Amino acid sequence: MAKDRRDPELDRELADLPPELRWREWMRRIEAVLFASASPVPREDLARIVGQGASVDLLVGGLAADLEGRAFEIARVGGGWMFRTRAAYAPAIRAAADVGDQLLDLSEFDVAVLAAIAYHQPITRDGLKDIFGKEISRDLIGKLHARELIGTGPRAPRRGAPYTFVSTEQFLVAFGLESLRDLPDREQLEDAGVAAEAP
């Protein structure tokens, strides 16, 4: 979202409205901003459109309650909030809508490489090779980079100063994570059969 943009004509306080209508209007403003945004909207940006004493968290919670039973929800991802379709409706969307560019279309190995980057970042291609026991192709790195799931991190502090890779906000959005702290721990992955048990 735009940073430090203030509309001098936006009445944030809405002092002329009764408290219940004021609250409802603030919720609708948040709804409009989330609807219009293609990326998660942080708390600080939402605070610019409501009154000084209003709790953005409570307003978002109220809006989320209003959306119960609807096909979409408010999700906390990447340090902000955004609208997303509930997972139960994914098959219907794929069947009827043109969402080809939005599909990740990642193989199991692609997802494993993404997970390795997320868990071990910043990591070099050599670091990935150590994890997988084989060279990770430049094409795969390019594909993940082009989809903005990974970015370039700091250069590694060793001979040649190779590039490192890190996960991005788009990675968090794509996998519905608020932050990297929401990644499952190793034991959870082993229990789910996604990772081999440690020797």
Instruction: Let me know whether 71 and 118 are in one domain.
Output: no
Residue 159 lies inside a defined structural domain of this protein: yes
Report pLDDT for 198.
42
Q: What are the counts of helices (DSSP H) followed by strands (DSSP E) for the chain?
A: 9, 4
Q: Which helix (H) or strand (E) holds 20?
A: helix 19-36
Query: Average pLDDT, stretch 152-175?
Result: 91
Three-state DSSP at 84 gives strand
Quick check: 84 pLDDT over 50? yes
| pTM tops 0.75, yes or no | no
The more confidently predicted of residues 196 and 28 is 28
Residue 41 is assigned to a structural domain of this protein? yes
Give tens-digit pLDDT for 12-54: 999 999 999 999 999 999 999 999 998 899 999 999 999 998 9
Domain end marker among 66, 89, 112:
89
pLDDT for 129 beyond 60: yes
> In terms of domains, do 124 and 49 share one?
no
Q: Within 13 Å and on the Cβ side, how many CA atoms surround 50?
A: 27
Helices 125-132 and 108-120 pack at an angle, to 10 degrees, of 120
Which of 55, 89, 123 is the C-terminal boundary of a domain? 89
Are 39 and 81 part of one and the same domain? Answer: yes
pLDDT recorded at residue 8:
72
Q: What is the pLDDT of residue 38?
A: 87
